[in-house]
Structures are given as structure tokens and as C-alpha cells.
Amino acid sequence: MRGVNLRIVFFFLDFMVLRLGFVRLKSSLFTIFADSNISINRNRKMERRVRVRFAPSPTGPLHIGGVRTALYNYLFAKKQGGDFILRIEDTDQTRFVEGAEDYIVEAFRWLGIKFDEGVGIGGEFGPYKQSERKDIYKSYALELVEKGMAYYAFDTPEELEEKRKEAESEKKTFQYDCKTRQGLRNSLSLSEEETQELIASGMPYVIRFRFPEDEMIEFDDLIRGHVKMNSSLLDDKVLYKSDGMPTYHLANIVDDHLMEISHVIRGEEWLPSCPLHVMLYRAFGWESTMPQFAHLPLLLKPEGSGKLSKRDGDRLGFPVFPMEWKDNEDVWAGFREDGFLPEAVINFVGLLGWNPGTEQEIFSLEELVEAFSIDRISKHGARFDLEKAKWFNHQYLQKLENASLTEVFLQDLKQRGIECDFAKAETIVGLIKERCSFAKELWDNGDYFFVAPESYAEKALKKRWKEGTSERMIEIVSHLRELEDDNWAQRAEDFLMDYIKENELNMGQIMNSIRLAVVGDTRGCSMLDIFAVLGKEESLRRISVAADRINL
């Protein structure tokens, strides 16, 4: 069966359905061919292998919440020795955004999260893009119609809108469900003859799931525990649209079944849809292989209540996307472009809603795999904390080899028109990186090594440069100039310690005055290190210039 050309098969089957109405024949034959094509070999092993998927829709950039969902799926799969799959769910063509799929793939490449199979990788359960699987879904929808668990609905958008307005006028909410469907235009309220006439005439229709009345739907969630909901509260969701595409609900269930997904780990927003998904598994007779569900807590705003959104990031000045995203004239910040290291993002996101049960905070990806367990995921929302994200980036920046940071620093210097040899730049990086949380902060913390101060911090000037300070600086320069050039920086520091002690001067006052003269402020690393990098002539020149300028 593997070698059968499905296009030919389906052409033949569609012809048979049109001419003879063999819906049941098509459905049963399709199951044989589809299962063969998707490589379902249920005798492959008795014990079920752990298989999870991350299934984003290409409707825009990947949100940091999506990154966390993917990460938890990855950690769970790797901990269990299972498979991690990337599936693109693009059944809603009206919301498709050009470039979004490539963005998703590139984001995970940057983050270092690798898929075992899926879009761009391949695998025996492909294709992994739902738009390339659309011929699969209709037969499954028709199977449910044949079983009486779904039905054709011919209501126009205008008719449904009118029903909504009627309900609103009575201060009610309209819902297409077990209480209202008999009064609407569908195959449950119409005769079989009327239904077939409408279909034959080309009347647009959708296929809706038929929820039973007053049945308790129950399932176990690995995070939420036991969940139950009465079927009468649920609306009859559309499974198959008039444009010939399945909705998320149908495609999701069919694909998870055919791809042998063992666990569905997804966001909390999908919890209300889970009763429908459970009922679909039952309707198809797949309940014995239904995956286990785990619904993750929301990522919350840094302040206030509600789910973290891109508007929050824009308003408060932080990224909510892994990489920069351009949307017409709008540009949304990305963690990568803001200078975050991918390892830091993974570590930060991994602890948003999950904890290891220990005091450990720094985890490599491998360590996260080893420590991860679903039972330590919180039921409650996790608040996004930008300062914590920066803290993680600082920790990982300190772990970087000075040489790799130097390459970045040299590029920054070149853009500023500054030439510097690698050895000197590497020395400076080693001195200042402890003060940096991002590579882009190297210049802000080390600019004084390359540019002499043109002005002096006013607050520091008032505090440190007293009457007579200029004269004292001139005297100190004269002494420092007499010191031997060999190891001058260390000789200068030793002299200053002795000079301050012998003259009973204030250590902080003198050293901070020198720092102010050399740096332009009271910030920076030790004066010994600054003297060593700048050298004797440049150090003394800066002190002399300050004494002359500030004295004017």
C-alpha cells in the first residue's frame, strides 16, 4: 500500500462518491490508504513510545509563551527517551502570515532546541504541514456524519448573526448547541432528501460535531488533575469548513492519532477545547490510544493581571518574541537582537511555571532535561520578570570565554571608528565584563579606555574636586612621572598608597579625584588596571588636563 498514488486513489473515490453516494466506502477505504501512507504500524512494538509535538500556527511571530510550551515538550520527550516533533498547523489560511513559518524554524535554531522530525526535517509520519495533509481530513469528518456524531450545517453567516442579535436583544448568548440546533438549518432539522438536495446544489456547508445532551465528559490532566464538564454547556464546534479545510479541532485530533502522539502538552487556553477533543477520540474509537493531556499555566504580565502580550512588551520596553519581528511599519523587539544569549533565554523560560524543588537556578539544557518532571509544573500563572531575565543573561555572559566576547566587542569598536588590537581588547573585556549583563554594555562600561573625558560628571565633581585639588593633582603627576616605566602601573599605585598615608590625606578623596580626572566619572574598574591599560603617558596626560580644565 505504501506505493499507492493517493491522488489517483482520491480522484477515483471522489468520483464514486459523486456518482454512487458511497460515502461509507470512501471512508473505510481512506482509512486503509491513509494509515498506510502515514506509516502506521501498530504491531511495531507493544509498549507505546513517548512522542510529543509542538504545533504552532504561522499567523505571526513565535511568542515567548510558545517557546516555553515547546521547551517543556522537548524536556519531557528527552527525559523519557522519546521523540519531539514540529508540526505546522496552517489550516486557517485567512490568518496565514508570510514569513511566519521560517521565523518559527529560525527561532528554534537560534535557541538550540532540536526536533527529531517534522517540517524541514522529515520523518516517517509526514507530511508535517497540515495544508499538505488536507485530503486526509474530509473522510474523517464524513465518518462522524455517518456515525451520527456530526452533521451538515447550511446556516449562512448572516443567518447566524441574526440569531446572535436576537439573543442579545433578550440579554442572552447565542450558542449552536443541543438546545438550538433543531431550530437551525442543518441535517438534523432537515429531511435526508432536503439535505442531499442542498449538497447536490452546491450549497456551502460546514460539518459540526454533535455533542450529546447532558453527558458528563471526564478526563485526567497531568497538571490540572481530574477535569469534567457537562456536554450541554458546549457548543457544536465546526470540524470541517466550507472552504474544504478542517478546523484546528479535527485536524489536531486526526494528526495526533496518525502520528502516534502519546502526550499533548499545551497552553491553558486550550483546556476548554479538551472535552471536544476527548469526545472526538471516543467518536473515532481511538480512546485506548488517546494521548495524555497537560495544560500549562499562563505567562502573566509583569504587573497587573492578565496574559502577557506583545503590547505589554512594547509598553514596558522588553521583548516577548525570541527574535525581532517586522509587521508592516511596526518592529517588535526580540530577545536575540536585545542581546540575550539563547542559553539564558532557555534557562529563564524553563523556570517560568516549573521549579526543580531545589535552590538551583542555573541549568544547562541537558541539566533541565535531567531535572524536569511534569508534576512540578504549577497550576497557577507565572509572572514574567524582565529583571530576572537580565540576571540570567548576566550569569551566562560571565561564563563566555573572553576571546568570543572580544570578537563582538571589536565589531562594536569598528562601527565606532576605533581601531584596537585583539590583545588589548581582550584585556579590557576581562576587566569589565563582570559589570555587564549584555555584550552591548561592554562599550558603556569600557569607553574610557578609548576616549579621554571631554567633560566631568557634575555630581562627582562637586563631591570630589575640592579647593586645592588641582594643585594636589599637579604635584602627584610630577611624582608619578619620575617613576620608572617598567611595571609603572603597580609602581604608581604603591606610590599613591604611601603618599596618601605620609600626608595624612583621605584615601577616597584622592583616589576618586584621580579616577574622575582619568575616567570623567567615579565609575570603572580599579585604577591599577586602568593605569596598566592606558599606560604612563596617557594616564598622566588625562590627570594634567583635568587639573588644568577644572581649575579654570
Name the amino acid, one letter, at 501: K
Calculate mean pLDDT across residues 437-460.
96
Q: What is the pLDDT of residue 311?
A: 87
Provide, rounded to the nearest whole percent, the portion of the chain with pLDDT above 70: 91
Q: What is the pLDDT of residue 376?
A: 97
Check pLDDT > 80 for residue 113: yes
pLDDT digits (tens, 9 = 90+) for 172-194: 999 999 999 999 999 999 999 99
Which position has the higher pLDDT, 22 or 398? 398
Distance CA 162, CA 231 (A): 25
Calculate mean pLDDT across residues 303-311.
87
Calculate mean pLDDT across residues 385-396.
97
Calculate mean pLDDT across residues 15-20.
38
Residue of 342, 308, 289 lying closest to 113 (CA atoms): 342
Residues 6+ away with beta carbon under 8 Å from 134: 91, 244, 245, 246
SS (H, E, C) 312-349: HHHHHCCCCECCCEEECCEEECECCCCCCCHHHHHHHH
| HSE-CB of 91 using CA atoms within 13 angstroms | 27
pLDDT digits (tens, 9 = 90+) for 467-501: 999 999 999 999 999 999 999 999 999 999 999 99
Distance CA 268, CA 275 (A): 13
Calculate mean pLDDT across residues 96-102.
92
- Cβ(522)–Cβ(460) below 8 Å: yes
Instruction: Mean pLDDT check: name the lowest of 36-45, 126-135, 151-160.
Output: 36-45
Distance CA 176, CA 185 (A): 11
Which position has the higher pLDDT, 215 or 45? 215
Q: How far is CA 345 from CA 220, 263, 264, 512, in A?
A: 31, 25, 23, 38
- Cβ(296)–Cβ(353) below 8 Å: yes
Marked catalytic residue, from 310, 390, 433, 536:
310
Calculate mean pLDDT across residues 195-221.
97
What is the chain's mean pLDDT, rounded?
90
Calculate mean pLDDT across residues 200-227.
97
Instruction: Mean pLDDT check: name the lowest of 30-39, 192-201, 370-379, 508-517.
Output: 30-39
Ramachandran assignment for 112, one of left (phi > 0), alpha (psi -120 to 50 degrees), beta (any other): left
307 is catalytic: no
Q: What is the pLDDT of residue 96?
A: 87
Q: Where are the alpha helices (DSSP H) in 129-169?
A: 134-146, 157-169
Calculate mean pLDDT across residues 236-247.
94
